[in-house]
Structure 1
Amino acid sequence: MRLRRTVQAALSACTTLVAAAGLVTAGTGTAQAAAPLPSRVFAPYFESWTGQSPATLAAQSGAKYLTMAFLQAATKGSCTPYWNGDTSKPVSSSTFGADIAAIRANGGDVIPSFGGYTADNTGTELADSCTDVNQIAAAYENLITTYDIGRIDLDIEDNSLTNTAGIDRRNKAIKTVQDWAAANGRTVRFSYTLPTTTGGLAASGLAVLKNAVGNNARIDVVNMMTFDYYDGATHDMAADTQTSAQGLYNQLAELYPSKTPAQLWGSIGITEMVGIDDYGAAETFTVANATTVYNWAVSKGINTLSFWALQRDNGGCPGKGGDDSCSGISQNTWDFSQLFAPFTSGSTVTNDFSVAVNPGSATVTAGSSTSAAIVTAVAAGSAQSVSLSVSGAPAGVTATVTPGSVTAGGSATLAIATTSAVAPGRYPLTITGSAASGTHTTTYALTVTGTAPSTGLVNGDLEAGSPAPWTCQSGGGVVSTPVHAGSYALRAAPGAIQTGECSQIVTLQPNTSYTLSGWVQGDYAYVGVTGGATASTWTNSSGWTKLSVPFTTSSSGTVTVYLHGWYGQGTVYGDDFSIA
């Protein structure tokens, strides 16, 4: 995927593969062929570098099939692929073998993916790195026999789209592998994952497919990344998915004139980026968008429905774009996975619905009001009556839903009123939809500002003894030691898949210059602002060190102030924050 950050910390080894797993040893080309994937499959991308278990997340999310990202050479010029280019993670049964066996035992499978933005941008995508077609083919065959794989994905972006020699080698290797598979009683399918415009593939992506046709390499699925358009426009991501796919359909019809319409649609895949993508809020894929895309994908009979990435399918960082560990929108964990899961052929589809709130957050001054739209949609089957309610409002906040019941596909209004006495802070409100098929919830993030001075933070010295209105990722909060001054300080707790960020929203004068200051302690201690301004600085320090960050607000005047560490590094502390 585009702009993926490669997080190497905290990678963990998988357990030894047992004989009953059904996997085979590399080189046994005559072993029993892998079972084919369903004709329709939902297979979200799994970030292999996080140290998490793909089998565990597959079971938790309900995503039986996973696209495993990524395989690449460790260094440019090498012909040996490793998971994430990490030489401690070779293609072997000891790496992900037990996880793959568990996924299959649960009725699913995996699609290993080569490439990705980092590999394509550093020359470590296998066909860019290796100049020997036979060795590229041998690497594919080794992967196939090691894990008994039935489909390989090739994620080609950035510089790999213009490396004509690499494109030709890759397609020649695909043809070699397909001939080898046929001779050994196997069927191996290949998919190309390519960036797209809202009207179909750009010329560079189309050239990859034209070269495959010229090399007699069969491409079974063309999977478009319907995100990161970077065109400066505000997007309806669901509508753009459909226009992009129609453009690809037209392109494939010219490349493969003998295919029927059903065969053409059946060779198309769609990969969304859930939540806010790398470009920013103008490209936000919502739960409501997912419902639209799901229904469209079923009606068209496309082959693959996917998203980047399974670890992002949660609402842990509202407002933050392009994060590998969260979607940046208010959602429940696994909302997108559970909505897309019935797409896989053979799944039982019963009546179901989705519920979302738009916008997903608001900031109000104590004593004022705001509202949002609660949107429901038919996720599967037919429309049913959905009862709506809201909970979690603190003292001084009144939240109501009108009407209290809608037919799935209908909307309601969330009305919020605050009194001047409500304590400033960030309050998550839970919107619940209940129907005969079950219950779904979504979260609305309400931030109340109060008596904070126009050039200051609330609880900047942490002497309130509690973090509010600061909010922290897991493990963060207020501590009594170490402190810079007074009795309390702020702790941020990084981990393998989080920076430990603690933050609060501050409203300042628009188009005005300020300086954020704070005292920090620890390795990779970052202080900065996002939102209506973007600026940061960091330090490594075993003692208290003052950091200062100049910034200028935009026309909104609202910024998010934060303290965080870095992935897999130690705890960092902050104290006595101020804005002047």
Structure 2
Amino acid sequence: MRRPRALGAFLSALATTVASAGLVLGSGGGAQAAATAATPLPAHVFAPYFEAWTGESPAALAQQSGAKYLTMAFIQTEARGSCTPYWNGDRSQPIAPSEFGADFTTIRSRGGDVIPSFGGYTADNGGTEIADSCSSVDSIAAAYEKVITTYDVSRLDMDIEDNSLENSAGIDRRNKAIKQVQEWAAANGRPLEISYTLPTTTRGLADSGLAVLRNAVSNGTRVDVVNLMTFDYYDGAPHDMAEDTKTAISGLKDQLARLYPSKTEAQLWGMTGITEMPGIDDYGPAETFTTANAPVVYDWARSKGVNTLSFWALQRDNGGCPGTGGSDSCSGIAQDTWYFTHTFAPFTSGSGPVTDDYSVAVAPGSAAIAPGGSTTTTVNTAVVSGNAKTVTLTASGAPSGVTTTLSPASVTAGGASKLTVTASATAVPGTYPIIVTGTSGTLSHSATFTLTVSGPGGGNGFLVNGDFETGSLNPWTCESGGAVVSTPTHGGGHALAVAATASQTGECTQTLALSPNTAYTLSGWLQGGYGYLGVRGDASASVWGSSSGYAKQSVGFTTGSTGEVTVYVHGWYGQGTVYADDLAVTS
């Protein structure tokens, strides 16, 4: 994939030492067929990407998430010019049963399988994608055969993007090698599919991706699946990511029809694949694949007969970093852990009847209020599979002096409710998790709303974690790249880094429920070019400055009838990182 696969260095994966049985490696120029042929994949399969460099067990995460099939990313060479494949290009992770072999055996014992993937952004950008790196077609073919026989797999994925799309020699070598491997597999009675994973526009492949397929056709190379990365469009346009998926895959189907005029409509749809990026992609919030988008794509892909449904990546399928884009370890949105996996898993043929299931999410996921104040948030439900059922909503965990109200108290899955949280004048300051639970029959799903009861006094006044000495952003929400840093600081050991880039201001925000019709002062210390500090909502005021060192900024404001304001700090487009510390709201 694009940015997630462009990390500067991969972590070493934890080696699995139990050898997989029944695998026969060749000697010299390549590999021989194993004694038993691999099992073909289902006609329709959900196979999310698994980041193989993290040290995690694919079998363990497959079981935890419910994803029976995994696309293992990535295989590449260690350096330009090499013809030897390794997991993540790491010499300590050879293509051998000791690396993931036991995990793959366990996955198969549970009715699943794996798809090894060659390439990825890092390899494609750095020249270590094997067909770019190796000048010998025979050696490339031998590497493919080694992976097939070592792990007894029936599909290989080719993730081709960035510089690899411009390497015409590598494109030709790759397709010639694949053709050679297809002939080898046929001669040995071994089922083998080849998928190409390619970047896309919202209307189908760009010409560089089409060139890969045109070359395959000219070489007589069979391409079984063309899998589009339906994210990271970087076009500056507004996006409904579910609708963009539909137009991208529909455009691909039409392009395939011109390349393969003898195929039927059903066969053409059966050549298509979809890979989403759950949550906020690398471009930023304008390209967010939401929990509401997922069932739309699922239903559409199923109705069209799409072959493969996937996403980047399994380790992102959680809501651990709201507001963060392009992360490898979380989606950047509020969601139940494994929400996207649970939504897409029934796509696999033969996975059993679709059950009536739903999800629960809270947005925004946190807020700070003063004693005597209140705030609201939206509880969203969505149909994960099957039919929409009635979901009864409850909230628990509110501390003494804090009350919660849900309106309505029950919804049909797909509907929303408003959660109102009110703190009495005697509510004790602190941070409290409020658990919102949706129940329908024997099913129950929950989401957490983090409430902070603030109070006057202290260095930050009514603002929570304005000095960032907790070491975390909570309850601040930031655009991609916002983070708590240890240097430079104004006071204490931490400060906020606001990641202003050419495409974003890097804004970080915190919502406060203050007293209505009351005067307050927002103050703080900022360092960097064009650092803005302000409030909006029930009051509007801001101040900005540019300084190579920390300089104090302050602005007064008066709340209106509700008292709810959003405090913000941000930089400006293309002006670089702004640092903020010791922010406060005082009356």
Smaller-chain TM-score bracket: 0.7 to 0.9
Deviation at 1:353, TM superposition (A): 2.5
Structure 1 residues 431 and 7: CA distance shift in structure 2, 3 A: farther
CA 1:425/1:172 → structure 2, altered by over 3 Å: closer, same or farther?
Answer: farther
Aligned to 1:553: 532
Query: Offset at 1:399?
Result: 2.7
Structure 1 pair 387/118, CA: closer, same or farther in 2 (3 Å)? Answer: same
What is the deviation of 1:371? 3.3
Say how many residue pairs are matched: 508
Selected match of 1:108 from 105, 112, 116: 112
In structure 1, distance between residues paired with 2:453 and 2:570? 14
Could you tell me which runs of 5 or more consecutive residues in structure 2 were left unpaired when the two chains were aligned.
Answer: 479-487, 509-524, 536-566, 572-579
Is the 1:71–1:83 contact (alpha carbons within 8 Å) kept by the matching residues of 2? yes
Confirm whether residue 16 of structure 1 aligns to residue 21 of structure 2.
no
Native 8 Å contact 2:360 2:445 kept in 1: no
Per-residue deviation, residues 296-330 of structure 1 (Å, max 9, x unmatched):
22211211111111111111111111111111112
Judged with a 3 Å threshold, the aligned counterparts in structure 2 of structure 1 residues 239 and 369 are, in CA distance, closer, same or farther, namely farther
Bigger Rg over Cα = 2
Question: Can you list the C-alpha shifts for 1:364-383, whole angstroms capped at 9, x where unaligned?
Answer: 54254443443333322223
C-alpha separation in 1, matches of 2:121 and 2:49: 14
Q: Check the 8 A contact 2:534/2:569 in 1, yes or no.
A: no
- 1:375 aligns with 380
1:459 deviates by 5.9
The answer on whether the counterparts of 1:332 and 1:443 sit within 8 Å (CA) in structure 2 is no
Q: Are 2:283 and 1:283 aligned?
A: no
Contact 1:360–1:445 (8 Å) recurs in 2: no
- 2:497 is aligned to 528
Which residue in 1 is equivalent to 2:231? 227
Q: Secondary structure at the match of 1:415?
A: strand
In 2, Cα distance between equivalents of 1:506 and 1:109: 38
How has the CA–CA distance of structure 1 residues 79 and 291 changed in structure 2, closer, same or farther, with 3 Å as cutoff? Answer: same
Q: Per the alignment, do residues 70 and 459 of structure 1 end up closer, same or farther by CA in structure 2, a change over 3 Å counting? A: closer
Matches within 5 A, 1:109-508: 109-357=113-361, 359-361=363-365, 363-366=367-370, 367-419=372-424, 422=427, 427-436=432-441, 438-446=443-451, 450-451=455-456, 458=464, 503-505=474-476
Q: Which is worse superposed, 106-115 or 28-37?
A: 28-37
Q: Percent identity?
A: 58
Stretch of structure 1 that moved more, 7-16 or 288-297:
7-16
Distance 1:418 1:534, change over 3 A: same
Amino acid at match of 1:230: Y
Greater mean alpha carbon deviation, residues 52-61 or residues 422-431 = 422-431
Q: CA deviation at 1:76?
A: 0.9
Match of 1:517 in 2: 490
SS of alignment partner, residue 69 of structure 1: strand
Cα 1:377–1:17 change in 2 (3 A) is same
Is the contact between residue 55 and residue 100 of structure 1 (CA under 8 Å) also seen in structure 2? yes
Secondary structure, in 3 states, of the residue corresponding to 2:256?
helix
**Structure 1 segments (4+ residues) deviating >6 Å:** 452-457
Match of 2:25 in 1: 25
Residues 555 and 459 of structure 1, relative CA distance in 2, 3 Å threshold:
closer
Note if 1:76 corresponds to 2:109. Answer: no
Change (3 A) 1:173 1:502: same
Distance in 2 between residues matched to 1:163 and 1:176, nearest whole Å: 20
Counterpart Cα distance in 2 of 1:506 and 1:439: 28
- Counterpart code for 1:323: S
For residues 64-114 of structure 1, give each alpha carbon's deviation from its aligned partner in whole angstroms, at most 9, with x where no partner exists.
110000011110111111101101001111111111111111111100001
Deviation at 1:555, TM superposition (A): 6.6
User: What does the per-residue CA deviation read over 1:172-193, in whole Å, with 9 as the maximum and x for residues that have no partner?
Assistant: 1111111111111112101011
CA contact (8 A) 1:7 1:50 kept: no
CA spacing shift, 1:459–1:386, aligned 2, 3 Å: closer
In 2, Cα distance between the equivalents of 1:89 and 1:24?
19
RMSD: 3.1
**Structure 2 CA distance for aligned equivalents of residues 107 and 443 of structure 1:** 33
Closer/same/farther in 2, CA of residues 114 and 424 from structure 1, 3 Å limit = farther
Return the offset for 1:432. 1.7
Residues 325-363 of structure 1, C-alpha deviations (whole Å, 9 max, x = no match): 111112222121122111111112243232344633354
d(CA) in 1 for partners of 2:54 and 2:171?
A: 29
- Residue 243 of structure 1 aligns to a residue whose secondary structure is helix
Q: Aligned pair in 2 of structure 1 residues 550, 435: CA closer, same or farther (>3 Å)?
A: same
**Structure 2 vs 1, CA of residues 185 and 18 (structure 1 numbering), >3 Å: closer, same or farther?**
closer
Are the counterparts in 1 of residues 24 and 34 from structure 2 also a CA contact under 8 Å? no
